[in-house]
């Protein structure tokens, strides 16, 4: 039961006596039993709970993937509002968060940059200065330098949300240059120029490099301003970095994405402004003292409006932007036509879901070529997270989450990026990288070249779940493509008053058809009788080991718990469609499915009769044989033997009777068999594709018609309201005149 049927028997041979003795030698504590080649229950438990019997292949936890593909071909571990330790309102900003996030393997961090108000004019990082504490930009840069390449040597991307004036932008660029030194990638690599159609460099090409993601000036504008800056500085004008072209035209920015690139930063409405410092302080104090109610917070949220990042970019900062140039998203067709791989766009989760709903395949193709970043919508003032899986399904590289919030979304993220040595980069599946492949993330049929799987999990027992006498139960969920995702469906019974060693012994939870195992993850979670999480574990399916496994649990922040485990039996198989089970069994063990004649021939050989002594005769099935076949349904799927189809060697070929017999021997083809033929399936797929296209067209027309009708209704209602107001005024005037 410990063997994974997916493994090749030559590359991964079965355990033999020598291997069994090695296990006994390693885990058996009793020396006498070791010499006898016997393992005790204690030794067997040690083996079951060892790393050798881990629920995942240990090599998947090391760096095992190719790292020479373009950046766009990887999922990149990404953080949103990295500086925050908690909520957005009244939250605390901390430099330490950058250290912790980078040490956890994150490769894309966010810096919300604003003008500092002190005498030193130092740029700060804060959440739109909306009731959050401030931290110095230079302190964050120093922290990033210290921890960027401790866990992983692969590139770090700094996502600047730039609201600073040009003077403070210049200070930002100088801090990056001086503190990062050679770690900062200031110029594109010679092998990967910033040209149309040129692919992005690979993680290996950018090892120990820091990339800046910030809006960039158009090349000609950048050159003009840099030349002016150099002339001013050569002339000894120290104020040059401050004053140079302070009021740029927005058209000089290279199609910078504003509404969708920058995550929503806020400023108060007319009743409350961010620049009103005393008001801000009063509100912040109220939040900290707990005087602000949920209703107050919701009212503030309603009075907020978005403020995009600045388009007034300092040329010196602009020169430091290369392989992560944000541009305003103008459509998938435009992006494909431009074919500029170093351009990228950001989408809040709602916009991203909208594009997935209407242009799923185009979104996948876009992500094969260039990068996209997804971030939480502005309404998540509590720093909660959206579910990242649907965006991974579309190949989005930077699915940015609030690392400070240990919710289900963050658990999925940490469990996924634990693979490949926690380096922060995961290679996307082949069909999500190749331009000649088409992938629909909402597909309900197996992907070409990908073998669907069947996974079953039997939850047997728990160990050391709690030292209290509480009730516990286990939930088993699957996350992947929409058709693979099964949530809140499989859970064990509640075992009361036993948190130490509850026994569940449930029937296996079967995930019958997982069409894309490469993207699927299994989640096993233990809850108490108050539905409070005790521990959980995220296990990506492509590295899951079959067999009896002790699965060690993690807390909600994905930190290992020392003792709690769940004992499970995991079975992994290749998915077999309904009705084909007998055929697969026959192929895997042909001896069980030999025909009656072949069995009789074997029995004759056992009695000393040679095969050459047995003549081939017409296969007119007797009543008894037919009766035997009727009682044995498996015989119906047995392929005919070669001897049954071979013409008699003793008869002449010219005989009409023999020819008729030969015709009788030709097996009949049933309609069910025809349905499995390639041509039929091809036509069926074509028909389904046309049907889907028709449905899509109909949905689009329906949406357009609905929108048109809504617009017309709105106009009619507005006109009615206008006329109503007019009549009411006339009525009031008439009443006043009479009065």
Nearest to 318 by CA among 375, 231, 248: 248
Chain segment 311-338, per-residue pLDDT in tens: 689 999 999 999 999 999 999 999 999 9
Question: Does residue 160 contact residue 123 with C-beta atoms inside 8 Å?
Answer: no
What count of Cα atoms within 13 Å lies in the side-chain half-sphere of residue 139?
A: 14
DSSP 503: B
User: Would you say residue 146 has pLDDT above 80?
Assistant: yes
Least confident of 103-107, 249-253, 425-429, 690-694: 249-253
Count of CA atoms in the C-beta half-sphere (13 A) of 143: 21
Q: What architecture does CATH give domain 453-574?
A: Sandwich (2.60)
Q: Is residue 73 annotated as a catalytic residue, yes or no? A: no
Annotated catalytic residue, options 73, 127, 163, 342: 127
What is the structure's pLDDT at 150? 96
DSSP string, 605-620: HHTT--GGGSPP----
pLDDT of residue 671: 65
Q: How high is the mean pLDDT of the chain?
A: 82
Q: How far is 396 from 199, CA to CA, in rounded Å?
A: 17
Is the pLDDT assigned to residue 649 strictly greater than 70?
no
Question: What spatial distance separates the first Cα and last Cα of the chain, rounded to whole Å?
Answer: 97
User: Among 598, 579, 558, which residue's Cα sits nearest to residue 415?
Assistant: 558
Q: What's residue 270's pLDDT?
A: 34
* pLDDT tens digits, 438-479: 999 999 888 888 889 999 999 999 999 999 999 999 999 999
Alpha carbons 301 and 18: distance in angstroms, whole number? 68
In whole angstroms, what is the distance from residue 548 CA to residue 48 CA? 8
Q: What is the mean pLDDT of residues 163-190?
A: 94
- The reported pLDDT for the residue numbered 229 is 82
Would the pLDDT of 720 be above 50?
A: yes
Superfamily of domain 71-257+309-432: Phosphatidylinositol (PI) phosphodiesterase (3.20.20.190)
Position 226 scores a pLDDT of 85
Decide: 371 and 72 in contact? Cβ < 8 Å.
yes
Q: What is the pLDDT of residue 696?
A: 84
Predicted local distance difference test score (pLDDT) of residue 161: 93
The residue extents of the domains of the chain are 17-53, 71-257+309-432, 453-574, 601-667, 670-739
Among 1, 69, 73, 80, the active-site one is 80
Q: Whose CA is closest to 520, among 639, 627, 392?
A: 392
CB contact at 8 A, 257 and 371? no
List, for residues 555-612, the tens digit of each pLDDT value. 999 999 989 999 999 999 888 887 777 777 767 666 666 666 677 777 777 777 777 7
Q: How far is CA 582 from the centre of its chain?
A: 36
Q: What is the pLDDT of residue 433?
A: 95
C-alpha distance from residue 523 to each of 307, 462, 564 (Å): 39, 15, 15
Q: Are the C-beta atoms of 484 and 518 separated by less than 8 Å?
A: no
**Whole-number Å distance between alpha carbons of 25 and 37:** 8
How do 372-375 and 265-267 pair as beta strands? unpaired
């Amino acid at each position: 039961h410990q063997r994974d049927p997916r493994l090749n028997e030559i590359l991964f041979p079965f355990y033999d006596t020598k291997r069994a003795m090695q296990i006994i030698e390693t885990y058996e504590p009793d020396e006498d039993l070791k010499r006898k080649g016997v393992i005790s229950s204690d030794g067997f438990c040690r083996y079951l709970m060892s790393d050798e019997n881990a629920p995942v292949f240990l090599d998947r936890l090391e760096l095992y993937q190719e790292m020479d593909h373009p950046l766009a071909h990887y999922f990149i571990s990404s953080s949103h509002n990295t500086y925050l330790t908690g909520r957005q309102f009244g939250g605390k900003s901390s430099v330490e968060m950058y250290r912790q996030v980078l040490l956890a393997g994150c490769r894309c961090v966010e810096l919300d940059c604003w003008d500092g108000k002190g005498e030193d004019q130092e740029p700060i990082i804060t959440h739109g200065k909306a009731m959050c504490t401030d931290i110095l930009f230079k302190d964050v840069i120093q922290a990033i330098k210290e921890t960027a390449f401790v866990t992983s040597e692969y590139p770090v991307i700094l996502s600047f949300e730039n609201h600073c004036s040009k003077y403070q932008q210049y200070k930002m660029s100088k801090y990056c240059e001086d503190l990062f030194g050679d770690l900062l990638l200031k110029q594109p690599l010679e092998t990967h120029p910033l040209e149309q159609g040129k692919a992005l460099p690979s993680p290996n090409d950018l090892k120990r490099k820091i990339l800046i993601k910030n809006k960039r000036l158009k090349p000609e504008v950048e050159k003009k301003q840099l030349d002016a800056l150099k002339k001013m500085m050569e002339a000894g004008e120290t104020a040059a970095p401050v004053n140079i072209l302070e009021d740029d035209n927005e058209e000089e920015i290279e199609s910078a994405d504003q509404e969708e690139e920058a995550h929503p930063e806020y400023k108060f409405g007319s009743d409350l402004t961010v620049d009103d410092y005393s008001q801000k302080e009063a509100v912040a104090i109220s939040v900290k003292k707990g005087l602000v109610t949920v209703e107050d917070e919701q009212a503030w949220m309603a009075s907020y409006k978005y403020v995009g990042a600045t388009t007034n970019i300092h040329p010196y900062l602009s020169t430091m932007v290369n392989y992560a140039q944000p541009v305003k998203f103008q459509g998938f067709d435009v992006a494909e036509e431009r074919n500029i791989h170093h351009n990228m766009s950001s989408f809040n989760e709602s916009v991203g879901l909208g594009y997935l709903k209407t242009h799923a395949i185009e979104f996948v193709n876009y992500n094969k070529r260039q990068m996209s970043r997804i971030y939480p919508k502005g309404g998540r003032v509590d720093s909660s997270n959206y579910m990242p899986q649907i965006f991974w399904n579309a190949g989005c590289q930077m699915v940015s989450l609030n690392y400070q919030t240990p919710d289900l979304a963050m658990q999925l993220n940490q469990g996924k990026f634990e693979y490949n040595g926690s380096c922060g980069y995961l290679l996307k599946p082949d069909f999500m990288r190749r331009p000649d492949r088409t992938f629909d993330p909402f597909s309900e049929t197996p992907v070409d070249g990908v073998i669907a799987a069947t996974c079953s999990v039997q939850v047997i027992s728990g160990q050391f779940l709690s030292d209290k006498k509480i009730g516990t139960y286990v939930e088993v969920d699957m996350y992947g493509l929409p058709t693979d995702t099964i949530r809140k469906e499989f859970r064990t019974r509640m075992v009361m008053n036993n948190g130490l060693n509850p026994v569940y012994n449930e029937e296996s939870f079967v995930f019958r058809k997982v069409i894309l195992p490469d993207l699927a993850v299994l989640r096993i979670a233990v809850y108490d009788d108050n539905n409070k999480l005790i521990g959980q574990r995220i296990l990506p399916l492509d590295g899951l080991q079959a067999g009896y496994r002790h699965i060690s649990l993690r807390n909600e922040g994905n930190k290992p718990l020392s003792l709690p485990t769940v004992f499970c039996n995991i079975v992994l198989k290749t998915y077999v469609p309904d009705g084909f089970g007998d055929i697969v069994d026959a192929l895997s063990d042909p001896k069980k499915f030999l025909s009656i004649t072949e069995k009789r021939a074997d029995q004759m050989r056992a009695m000393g009769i040679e095969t050459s002594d047995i003549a081939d005769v017409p296969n007119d099935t007797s009543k008894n044989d037919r009766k035997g076949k009727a009682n044995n349904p498996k015989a119906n799927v047995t392929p005919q033997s070669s001897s049954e189809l071979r013409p008699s060697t003793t008869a002449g070929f010219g005989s009409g009777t023999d020819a008729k017999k030969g015709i009788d021997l030709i097996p009949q083809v049933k309609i069910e068999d025809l349905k499995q033929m390639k041509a039929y399936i091809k036509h069926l797929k074509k028909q389904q594709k046309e049907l889907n296209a028709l449905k899509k067209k109909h949905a689009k027309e329906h949406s357009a018609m609905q929108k048109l009708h809504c617009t017309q209704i709105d106009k009619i209602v507005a006109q009615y309201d206008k006329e109503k107001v007019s009549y009411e005024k006339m009525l009031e005037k008439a009443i006043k005149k009479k009065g």
